[in-house]
A and B are shown apart, each in its own frame.
Chain A
Amino acid sequence: MSGPVSGPVTLRLDSLTKRYGSVEVVADVCLTIEPGERRALIGPNGAGKTTLFSMITGRVPASAGRVEFNGTNITSASEDRRTRLGMAQTFQRSSLFDGLSVLDNVLLSAQRRASLAHRMVRPARRYAGVRDRAAEVLATVGLEHRGADLVRGLSHGERRQMEVALALACDPALILFDEPVAGLSPAETQDFVAMARRLPAGITLLFIEHDIDVVRALASRVTVLDAGRLLVEGSPAEIAEDARVAEAYLGRARSDDDFWDG
Chain B
Amino acid sequence: MHELSLAMEICRIAEERAGHAAPRLVTVGLEVGDDAGIEAANLEFCLETLLTLPPFRGARAAITRAGGDGLRVSYLEIDDDGPDD
Q: Do A and B bind each other?
A: no
